Structure 1
Amino acid sequence: MIEATTIDDKVDAIATEVVRAGAGVVDETGEYPRAALASLRSAGVLGLISATEVGGLGEGPAAAARVVERLARECASTAMVLCMHYAATAVIEAHGPIAVRERIATGEHLSTLAFSEVGSRAQFWAPLSAAETAGDHIALTARKSWVTSAAEADSYVWSSRPVAADGLSTLWLVPATAPGLHVRGAFDGLGLRGNGSTPIDADAVAVAADAMLGSDGGGFDVMLGTVLPIFLLMGAGASVGLSDAAAAAAAAHAASTRFEHLDQSLAEQPVTRSSLGAMRVRADAARALWSGALEEAESGRETAALRALEAKAAASEAAITVTDAAMRVCGGAAFRREVAVERHFRDARAAAVMAPTTEMLHDLIGRAVTGQPLFG
């Protein structure tokens, strides 16, 4: 029974009692984490960053990142669903209609980003999809490649080329029920198996002109100023949570597994202890950088954007290193699903190749520290 009072306590209780219980099935079957989402919805967590005037909790990006981190320790698929929902919500809060904002605040509406495309791939800021005036509406045509919660969301924050203005992109709020949208197939990937990320095709999908989020041609500015900061912090949080979970699982396995002929645990072996210590250092270093980035975001420091870039890059690579080490420490047992290490190992791989990739982040950091514009 979940009887917590604060939002952090509620999330922790749901993560422990609901998300953890379903994580194995979600991973094994690829089933969308509906039970976890239902509990989070009932607790008001879907409205975490919605403004209080529309019925939300009025929290900011740091709070969203902390929720994602806590969920990622138990189920990275659930964490990814919330990550994309919060990223979309940030845009809708800034530019969307009040009716949708109110439904998100009360947990009645799940949204997600629809940025990635077949043609521009990881360069999410440069969509190739079309938006054309067709009588009294706008017709959207696109091949979106990766849309989390594609068949589950109520709406998509959708990118296209501008209708008429200069600029790289324009954003739209597209209802999931719009005629002409086609969700293609089911997700069957290496990791994040329950996040429901599948392609969506749009065949002259009609949306009203006032479905535009921001100005025509202004999508890039919204991506950079609204989406990227919260997405970086949440993405880093997911990797931090995965690192922590893998390090803890490996330590628990080493402490409970014995060499009967030596009457010693695996943890009593110097090489094992050294590996566990190195894992802990790497995981804690990533957590420290991420925590610092959250503090800078909350205080509005000038270096907050740089620190968020650093946190995402460091945490993504740390998760790969730590989960790889956990597989080695646990040996053959790591290949069994019940140990959960192999699930963390697979889930951790996504962050490094999910836009902005680690290589992109390093380039952006290099641009920032040399006084160059991030994009250009």
Structure 2
Amino acid sequence: RPASEAQARLLGVARALAPRFAERAGRHDQDATLPRENLADLRDAGYLAAAVPVEYGGSGHGLFDVTAAQLELARGDGSTALAVGMHVMTCGTEASARSWPEEARRRILGEVTGRGALINNIAAEPELGSPRGGGRPRTVLVPAGPGRWRLSGHKTFSTLAPELAYLITYVAVEDGSGDTGRVAVSGDLPGVRVEETWDALGMRATASHDVHFDDVELSDADLLTRRPPGEPDPAMMQGGWFPLTVAAAYLGVAFSARDEAVRFARERRPTGYAAPISQIPHVRERVGGMDATLLAARTFLLATAEEWEARPEGRLALAPQVAAAKRFATNGAVEVVDAAMRVVGGVALLRGHALERHYRDVRGGLVNPPIDARALEMLARAALDEPGERHPHDG
């Protein structure tokens, strides 16, 4: 049941669009093409502005509402949900952190609400990997005169790359300060080049290509944040948005796989059977197991999103729970889709079958940060290294 009228409207949008996206998903998966018609539908429905604060023309939805909506959207197409989730997450993170200069925030978020501009945080690199592992980026911002800069570097896993109006890019500031920062790079600037490298096992329609910056000219107005070594990144301080919205996309795929398996079990009656396979005990056990996992994962995910939103002062302390919720949801999604494959049997292995796509898509959640090892280390550190005895259920 929706928690508010505003959430009900957002969920209504996601539920209305999901069947439409499901019809297009197979073609875009096969061709590894970005479903631009889905993005147009989301733009027309106002979904792209869901997490933009009301003062900048958006709907002002928080993490709880968006996580619930992403679950519904992914039932139609995991790639679309994951891709647009990166945009919504970038808007929501800045809405929470307020780390950009006011003028830049008003300009960029105003374009999101005004013309449906897409934005994304671009951080991963071939050598660096994910910034969550530490290290200094090889993408550099070099002084080029008073108030001027030049940007050079190479980014990977740049979801929505061909359609981004702004690439919020993680850089090393090479002015002798040792700082790192984030710059807003217009996607149409000279020197910004998208290399179409994304040919992946799953989530093939996210257009998560490489981006090259070749002496791109920027100004002080494009520098959103900078911080000295050792100072926390404001975006990381608001770290609930990425793991929870990402987890919602993968869990939504698992819900779709479950629905496909249940439909098949109800309708499939081999010629040697007197009843559909839904009456076979081991099939019923698998379906019960899928529903138990989905119920637990969804409840944990949404409860964590709700708590994170309700307790701004406690978000750092909540980080282990956020990591645990992401881990539980993404591993649960893999478990559920595997079980659905076993219920449906050999036909689920065929190219073009929805379950074959779901099987590949959910694997991506295992490598999105925080990965399992880092999530478990966060929980272990909270239990073993922090002062006092702490339990996972402590508030």
Q: How does the TM-score come out when normalised to structure 2?
A: 0.87
Aligned to 2:235: 223
User: 5 Å matches for 1:266-277?
Assistant: 266-277=277-288
Q: Contact 2:179–2:227 at 8 Å: present in 1 too?
A: no
Paired with 1:107 and 1:358, the residues of 2 have a C-alpha distance of: 38
- The Cα offsets for residues 329-367 of structure 1, whole Å up to 9 and x where unpaired, read as 211111235541111111100011122222222222222
Shift, 1:304, TM fit = 3.6
Q: Contact 2:323–2:370 at 8 Å: present in 1 too?
A: no
Aligned to 2:106: 98
Q: Contact 1:169–1:220 at 8 Å: present in 2 too?
A: no
- The alignment status of 1:175 with 2:164, answered yes or no, reads no
Q: Secondary structure at the match of 1:240?
A: helix
User: 5 Å matches for 1:221-300?
Assistant: 221-226=233-238, 228-300=239-311
Paired with 2:248 and 2:121, the residues of 1 have a C-alpha distance of: 18
Amino acid at match of 2:114: T
- The Cα offsets for residues 108-160 of structure 1, whole Å up to 9 and x where unpaired, read as 21111211100011344532321111113111221111100111111111001
Paired with 2:264 and 2:93, the residues of 1 have a C-alpha distance of: 43
- The Cα offsets for residues 18-75 of structure 1, whole Å up to 9 and x where unpaired, read as 2122122221222211111111111111011111112111111222212221111110
Amino acid at match of 1:15: A
User: 5 Å matches for 1:306-345?
Assistant: 306-337=320-351, 339-345=353-359
Amino acid at match of 1:287: R
Aligned to 1:74: 76
Aligned alpha-carbon RMSD (Å): 2.3
Cα distance change of structure 1 residues 5 and 315 upon mapping to structure 2, 3 Å threshold: closer
- The alignment status of 1:346 with 2:360, answered yes or no, reads yes
Paired with 2:343 and 2:362, the residues of 1 have a C-alpha distance of: 17
The more displaced of 156-165 and 213-222 is 213-222
In the alignment, which of 1, 4, 9 is matched to residue 6 of structure 1? 9
In the alignment, which of 209, 216, 226 is matched to residue 198 of structure 1? 209
Paired with 1:150 and 1:165, the residues of 2 have a C-alpha distance of: 31
Aligned to 2:53: 51
Paired with 1:371 and 1:61, the residues of 2 have a C-alpha distance of: 29
Aligned to 1:363: 377
Q: Secondary structure at the match of 2:161?
A: coil
- The alignment status of 1:116 with 2:130, answered yes or no, reads no
In structure 2, stretches of 5+ residues that fail to align are 1-6, 388-395
Q: Secondary structure at the match of 2:211?
A: strand
Cα distance change of structure 1 residues 134 and 233 upon mapping to structure 2, 3 Å threshold: same
Aligned to 1:20: 22
Q: Contact 2:348–2:356 at 8 Å: present in 1 too?
A: yes
Amino acid at match of 1:128: R
Shift, 1:234, TM fit = 0.2
Paired with 1:223 and 1:164, the residues of 2 have a C-alpha distance of: 22
Q: Contact 2:143–2:175 at 8 Å: present in 1 too?
A: no
- The alignment status of 1:133 with 2:135, answered yes or no, reads no
Q: Contact 2:141–2:149 at 8 Å: present in 1 too?
A: yes
Q: How does the TM-score come out when normalised to structure 1?
A: 0.91
How many residue pairs get matched? 368
Paired with 2:76 and 2:174, the residues of 1 have a C-alpha distance of: 43
Q: Secondary structure at the match of 1:262?
A: coil
In the alignment, which of 207, 227, 231 is matched to residue 218 of structure 2? 207
